[in-house]
């Protein structure tokens, strides 16, 4: 069997009638990569996945798999395996029949067919369920059958459409690992669609964040989280406190001035004039008013509006007029927890913030 292949998407546009759902999408997915399309519903992530499989309206631009242009190819000639969100197991066939389907379409029969179906069922740990009907299986088992049915034909690329959305929370964590193991074992280039950032973070090597049919940013989960390139990405990946304002620069660095008068001095130079500062809750600190602090920390006075004790962390919402700033303070045994209504100082560490152009 040939090694993993690349997927290249060049200037892809998709429209349903007059509604544009994807605009100018460009992506290079490396061979063997586990790649995620992350975005809210209606962002076009599923449409993009389906376009790779050959479903939906004919896209503009080019889609290349292993260097071959597949744009005009019908789905059955692409050899791209897709696992549907609903699993789409055929209820009138047994598990074995479902898994054998693709091989039969490829004119594999006899011993070879049996061997490969058994191997695929073994791979997902469902060998003893071969003669059941899909309706007699649990959601997680159905998911495995769908996976087996897809990988048994040795597709060039594996596409997963919201693979975990129909499973309950416990199973999701387990399945996340299983899918990842399977992908490593088969070393298949894999693309999966999700609206859940935790899923994308834990599973993918790299991901593309989509919104309104446009790719917002592409990169490794950590990069996207720490260095979001716009407000959408900053906000979609985790919680973010956003202060909007303008920057003034001189030789030594820049100064940020919020619309309401909050000032933050930055030691690096910011090119743009209007923009925003993004503060992740865990990068902020909270302390009593007037307590000593390092010089690079800028204190903002406020009042605690609510406190959520979550065990390992305490989440505070602090009113710093007119903003409400969220702060996650990690909690160690015996640490003092501030109470609602207390006056506090929020510490902004200038080393741990992101500046964005607007």
Partner 1 sequence: MNYFARTSLGPAGVAILLGLFLLVFLVVPVAKVIFVAFQDPNTGALTLVNFADFFNTSLFRESFFNSLYVALMSVVVGSVIAMPLAYFTTRFNFNGAVLIQTLGVIPLIMPPFVGAVAMQLLFGANGSINLLLDEWFGINIPFMEGLNGVILVESIHYFPFILINLSAALNNIDRSMEESAQNLGANGFRLFRRIVFPLAMPGYVAGASLVFLKVFDDLGTPLLLNVNNMLAPQAYLRISSIGISDPMGYVISVILVLFSLFALWTSFLAMRGKEYATVQKGGGGLMKRDLRTWEKVGAYAVVIFTLLIVLSPHIGLTLLSFGTIWSFSVLPDGFTLANYQEVIGTTSDYITNTMLYAGLAALIDVVFGTAIAYLVWRTKLVGRKWLDYLATGALAIPGVVLGIGYLRTFYEVEVPFIGQPLASWWVIIVVALAVRRLPYALRACVAALQQVAVALEEAAENLGATKYRTVKRVVVPLMSGGIIAGFVTSFATAAVELSATIMLVSAESDAPLSYGIYVFMQSAAGRGPGAALGMIAVIIVGVATYLSHRVIERGKREQALDAALAGGV
186 touches partner 1 (CB under 8 A):
no
Count how many Cα atoms sit within 13 Å of the Cα of residue 171 in the half-sphere of its side chain.
13
Q: How far is CA 68 from CA 50, 57, 73, 224, in A?
A: 17, 20, 11, 30
CA distance 193 to 46: 6
Residue among 154 and 258 whose Cβ is closer to partner 1: 154
160 touches partner 1 (CB under 8 A):
no
Pairing, β 157-161 against β 80-83: parallel
Residue among 53 and 304 whose Cβ is closer to partner 1: 53
Element (H, E) at 27: strand 19-29
Answer yes or no: are the C-beta atoms of 6 and 30 closer than 8 Å: yes
Residue among 45 and 323 whose Cβ is closer to partner 1: 45
149 touches partner 1 (CB under 8 A):
yes
Interface residue with partner 1, options 68, 86, 174, 248 (CB under 8 A): 86
Of 223, 55, 234, 39, the C-alpha closest to 47 is: 55
What is the DSSP code string of 211-265?
A: ETTEEEEEE-HHHHHHS-SSHHHHHHSS--EEEEEEEEE-SS-EEEEETTS-EEE
- Choices 51-59, 63-71, 187-195, 206-214; region in contact with partner 1 by CB under 8 A: 51-59
How many other C-beta atoms can be found within 10 angstroms of the C-beta atom of residue 334?
Answer: 5
Answer yes or no: are the C-beta atoms of 134 and 90 closer than 8 Å: yes
Torsional sign, CA 70, 71, 77, 80? positive
Site string for partner 1, 94-113 (x = CB under 8 A): -------xx--xx-------
Interface residue with partner 1, options 43, 150, 189, 211 (CB under 8 A): 150
Least separation, in Å, of the C-beta of 196 and partner 1? 14
Interface residue with partner 1, options 76, 111, 169, 261 (CB under 8 A): 76
Q: Which of residues 13-42 bind partner 1 (CB under 8 A)?
A: none
Interface residue with partner 1, options 4, 44, 49, 162 (CB under 8 A): 162
Residue among 102 and 228 whose Cβ is closer to partner 1: 102
55 touches partner 1 (CB under 8 A):
yes
Enumerate binding residues for partner 1 (CB under 8 A). 53-55, 74-76, 79-82, 84-86, 88, 90-92, 101-102, 105-106, 149-150, 153, 162, 165-166
């Amino acid at each position: 069997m040939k090694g993993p292949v690349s997927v290249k998407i060049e200037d892809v546009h998709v429209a349903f009638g007059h509604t544009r759902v994807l605009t100018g999408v460009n992506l290079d997915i490396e061979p063997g990569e586990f790649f995620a399309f992350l975005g809210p519903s209606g962002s076009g992530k599923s449409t993009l996945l389906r376009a790779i499989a050959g479903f939906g309206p004919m896209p503009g631009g080019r889609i290349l798999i292993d260097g071959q242009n597949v744009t005009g190819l019908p789905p059955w000639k692409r050899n791209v395996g897709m696992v549907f969100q609903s699993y789409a197991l055929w209820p009138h066939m047994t598990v074995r029949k479902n898994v054998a389907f693709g091989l039969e379409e490829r004119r594999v029969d006899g011993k070879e067919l049996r061997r490969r179906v058994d191997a695929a069922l073994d791979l997902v740990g469902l060998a003893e369920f071969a003669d059941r009907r899909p309706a007699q299986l649990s959601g997680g088992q159905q998911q495995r059958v769908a996976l087996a049915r897809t990988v048994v034909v040795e597709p060039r690329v594996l596409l997963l459409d919201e693979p975990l959305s129909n499973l309950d929370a416990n199973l999701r964590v387990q399945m996340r690992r299983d899918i990842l193991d399977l992908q490593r074992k088969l070393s298949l280039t894999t693309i999966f669609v999700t609206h859940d950032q935790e899923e994308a973070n834990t599973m993918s090597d790299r991901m593309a964040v989509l919104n309104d049919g446009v790719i917002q940013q592409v990169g490794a989960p950590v990069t996207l989280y720490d260095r979001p390139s716009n407000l959408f990405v900053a906000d979609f990946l985790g919680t973010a406190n956003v202060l909007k304002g303008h920057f003034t620069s001189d030789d030594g660095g820049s100064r940020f001035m919020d619309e309401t008068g909050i000032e933050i001095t930055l030691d690096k130079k910011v090119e743009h004039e209007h923009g925003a500062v993004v503060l992740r809750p865990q990068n902020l600190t909270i302390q009593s008013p007037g307590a000593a602090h390092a010089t690079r920390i800028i204190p903002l006075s406020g009042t605690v509006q609510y406190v959520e004790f979550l065990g390992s962390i305490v989440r505070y919402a602090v009113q710093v007029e007119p903003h409400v700033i969220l702060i996650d303070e990690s909690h160690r045994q015996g640490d003092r927890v501030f109470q609602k209504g207390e006056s506090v100082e929020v510490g902004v560490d200038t080393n741990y913030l992101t500046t964005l152009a607007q």
